[in-house]
Structure 1
């Protein structure tokens, strides 16, 4: 029953002094209120008769807002008066347009749309967890509510990486066009793939003269070159315990994902082939054979649900997978942390085997906190100890960098 039943009983209790027998009057009023509650509950629409579906956005970038609508259908011949609570995981940042405390009405054989605004706080899949419908009677004295009735329509909003580094994309693409030699001011670029033959002009490098073609044309022809196309890039993300360390206001893994997306966007514009591998003690995500049109969407959706695992990364597993999957020589960019313990015992033993076939680049995130601690003037004894610890961490990074080189 609702608060209205208690209020009705309290209002009747005020008349007890006028009754010849107050006790008998209390029993009669209680019986009358209970009868009204039973009738009101019987007239309420059964929650199990309702049907619920969802419609709306399936994906949103971190920091954006998505809208998912709950469609509640009343197939019965009674008017539904109900309070509806559509619950999501806390990190989904759900804000319903209709508060759960408000009573909504759905006419017989009618439907109601209840939108919910979602502003997620974390990357990954944010599911809806529970739908609760409290069906009230016509008098508002009683209600019906049953767990799991109607069933919660399954829905998960995929929160994609924010990709803040895309603001650097125009500058990087401009530099890429210079390298490719497509800007008029720079002329033809130097590369490793043969492009065309043209007539020799004063100032050309004589080493570019094609003597056989010149003999056939009875003219001096030179070869022109362009940057190599269809190169192979493999982005490897370390999702082990070191990726859980926070850099600024986000985990190190999120920073690595942002850098990998920027590198992928540049490689796609250069018509290169990009593969992705994310692993710790197991393979967490793979994207292979991604062509330019669908490259970024596939990578973004593959990286969205990745979360750091509190385990030591198995670099032997990563090296074995790369050697098995990548037969041709590729540029392997490994996004990890320059920690002496993790790399000294895991990566360094397998690095020669991997570098024998591929060009390996280790990309590590720079922690701005360390730079701040080493440059700030200590004001307390604790600041001096913190600065010493920061200098020690930077020295360890330098030793690891030297060992990798």
Structure 2
């Protein structure tokens, strides 16, 4: 008996019904001092309670393996997305049980209420599903899964511990990547805001001579081939391939600002991953550069099957820095790495004209050799302030300042355009869609 309690006391918990029974017995003993007619009723009630406790312990502890439980976690989690976690439970008890599950999820989520209550019939199986949305890349450690079981009596609860600590990496949003890729393959990109861009003229890359079908442009008729074959033939053109597309990510302090749990750096990383995938699907070469006070990682442009995996592995490790961007280092890296004209999508953030003025000389020099697209962020909180109704003098002051900053962002767009630099001013949540739209527009208009 002693060994039994030493072995199981840590996993034995008293239920609410037991405390209610103890309270009832204590009340009967108390009143027996003033009401002699109660006689042996308190002793009988206490004996019944002890017998029920013994029966409950026999029911719960007569099987060493009363349950099987397995937690199914993906090999990696997608940052900023809802990742599904499954807990499979199978009961081996020959009677119905009431269970509660506590999953020790990683501390980064700061959740202490992961409790799932359920009822299982004899030898029943059940799967519990829930989702986790990480907002930071890195390693997340899952602990044990603790299962609390009580019999129909409900006087005591037995705990089972399953699993072991498991470390799961959180990568940039590959779920978003797959969603865009599947919609691109099925030509349903318009459902998520991707616009159909009207192609201007023809690309310069000849594909083949084919038979004319209704709808083909008469200007593409190949008269020599038509004369030889005796039927109308036209030239077919394809998009220019193997163009270099580089995502340049600023990871300085300006990208530390959070929106809906994610930092601007994480929004930029997720968008870069999707853009790189779209570029590879368009048979362009995708590359990556990260920059802060010094040049970070460089992935030369390529379109090999493993290129997207290389980019994802680099992005997984990137973190924001706390110094300003060294634009001179960026310009030097671009000149040394890129030997041909490329599309450079620079993810950064400008809060004022003075911030742009410091970087503008280097941006102009980069734009001489490459097609430069600056992507920076609209402050959605400031925008909401400009739309709020003013109720007092302080509100007028706040709204005036908010309008000033919002107007300055628009001035930055005009200033960049004045120097021939393309730009996108976008809310963080619409970043990916807006960047892909601009890339497709650039391809269609043959600006590169």
CA contact 1:334–1:361 (8 Å) conserved in 2: yes
Q: Aligned partners of 1:374, 1:79: CA distance in 2, in Å?
A: 59
Matching residue of 1:175: 199
**Alignment pair present for 1:243 and 2:255:** yes
CA contact 2:101–2:147 (8 Å) conserved in 1: yes
Matching residue of 2:60: 44
Matching residue of 2:164: 151
Matching residue of 1:102: 118
Residues 137/261 of structure 1: CA separation in 2 closer, same or farther (3 Å cut):
closer
Counterparts in 2 of 1:257-296, with a 5 A limit?
260=272, 263-264=275-276, 267-280=279-292, 291=303
Question: Which of 55, 72, 88 is the aligned partner of 1:71?
Answer: 88
Q: Please give the secondary structure, in 2, of the residue aligned with 1:44.
A: helix
TM-score by length of 1: 0.60
Q: Please give the secondary structure, in 1, of the residue aligned with 2:117.
A: coil
Q: Please give the secondary structure, in 1, of the residue aligned with 2:199.
A: helix
Q: Please give the secondary structure, in 2, of the residue aligned with 1:4.
A: helix
The alpha carbon displacement at 1:7 in A equals 1.7
Question: Which of 5, 12, 18 is the aligned partner of 1:5?
Answer: 18
Q: Please give the secondary structure, in 1, of the residue aligned with 2:102.
A: strand
CA contact 2:85–2:132 (8 Å) conserved in 1: no
Q: Please give the secondary structure, in 2, of the residue aligned with 1:12.
A: helix
Q: Aligned partners of 2:300, 2:93: CA distance in 1, in Å?
A: 52
**Alignment pair present for 1:85 and 2:71:** no
Q: Aligned partners of 2:321, 2:54: CA distance in 1, in Å?
A: 54
The alpha carbon displacement at 1:234 in A equals 0.9
Structural RMSD (CA): 5.9
**Deviations 1:195-244, CA, capped at 9 Å, x for gaps:** xx98599xxxxxxxxxxxxxxxxxxxxxx997653121111122333224
Question: Which of 345, 350, 357 is the aligned partner of 1:338?
Answer: 350
* Farther-moved stretch of structure 1 (317-326 vs 27-36): 27-36
Residues 121/74 of structure 1: CA separation in 2 closer, same or farther (3 Å cut):
same
Residues 359/391 of structure 1: CA separation in 2 closer, same or farther (3 Å cut):
closer
Query: Can you give the 5+ residue segments of structure 1 that lack an aligned partner in the other structure?
Result: 189-196, 202-223
* Farther-moved stretch of structure 1 (353-362 vs 127-136): 353-362
Matching residue of 1:184: 216
Matching residue of 1:114: 127
Q: Aligned partners of 2:64, 2:254: CA distance in 1, in Å?
A: 49
TM-score by length of 2: 0.56
